[in-house]
Amino acid sequence: MHTKPPSIKIGVQNIRKGFQNEKVNLQVIEGLDFEVREGEFVAIVGPSGCGKTTLMNIMAGFLAPDTGVVTVDGKPRAQPNARGILITQQGSVFPWLTVKQNLLFGLPEGLANRDALADEYAALVGLKGFENNYPHELSGGMLKRAEIARALVVKPEILYMDEPFSALDALMSLRMQNELLRILSIERHTVLLITHDVEEAIHLADRILVLSPRPARIQASFDVPFAHPRRLSSPEAQALRVAILKELGVTGTV
């Protein structure tokens, strides 16, 4: 039996980005290069304010870099599209639509089984029975589930997750991480996760990129070779955590 090595899904080549006005000239990203393989889960960690969100917006197509190019399947990516869905900390589930209507939102009107698909994905994330509820009737965790379901139902190839669980309390965040792993074990996607939480990155990712302080460059890259379900208390995971924190400039009592 032979398996083809996974192909390159996303290519980031020589990305630079700065913000200029009369008062400031702020270089945010300084020459980033990396690749993400098909089906790979890559986490990007870095100090706050280092340009992680700017990078994510460029990768998802919402922001144009000053130089460089982002490719998806080898082709330059310009505009956002449903092949890659962005999930942010704030979330963007439409509060004026029910859960079901939110799930239907991204599905083409002509699609024959769109109704069944919406129900299926609501059930997949554990929102069966809440299809007709409005977002303000849901808890923070349920809202995240709805957001993930709305992203997955359009069958994206890539999920761009920008601090998706940071607004949740620690326990709910952990639950949602496990939930995400469960869903990804059913449906494999290429995932890019931005987080400031090193443990979250170790829990979820296949590979972790550490960004430098602004202007952002890739400072280090770590493979996370542990099988799921992962035990963060294992010596190997702890060693990795210490190594990553060291790259981030945190030493001592970790």
Q: Stretches 43-51, 105-113, 226-234, 242-250: which one binds other proteins (CB under 8 A)?
A: 105-113
**CA angle centred on 161, ends 157 and 167, rounded to 5°:** 150
- Letters for 45-84 (x = contact with other proteins by CB under 8 A, - = none) are ---------------x-x-----------------xxx--
Per the CB < 8 A criterion, the answer to whether 99 and 135 are in contact is yes
> 111-170: which residues touch other proteins (CB under 8 A)?
134-136, 154
Q: Rounded CA gap, 56 and 77, in Å? A: 13
Strands (E), the chain: 8-20, 25-37, 41-45, 67-72, 75-76, 84-88, 158-162, 190-195, 207-211, 218-223
Q: Does 95 bind other proteins (CB under 8 A)?
A: yes
Q: Which of 14, 20, 67, 92 binds other proteins (CB under 8 A)?
A: 92
Q: Does 2 bind other proteins (CB under 8 A)?
A: no
Q: Which of 86, 124, 176, 211 binds other proteins (CB under 8 A)?
A: 86
* Residue with Cβ nearer other proteins (57 or 212): 57
Q: Does 90 bind other proteins (CB under 8 A)?
A: yes
Q: Does 105 bind other proteins (CB under 8 A)?
A: yes
Q: Rounded CA gap, 109 and 123, in Å? A: 21
Polymer length of the chain: 254
CA 55 → CA 17, 28, 179, 248, distances in Å? 9, 9, 26, 18
* Contact footprint for other proteins (CB under 8 A): 60, 62, 80-82, 85-86, 88, 90-92, 94-97, 101, 105-106, 109, 134-136, 154
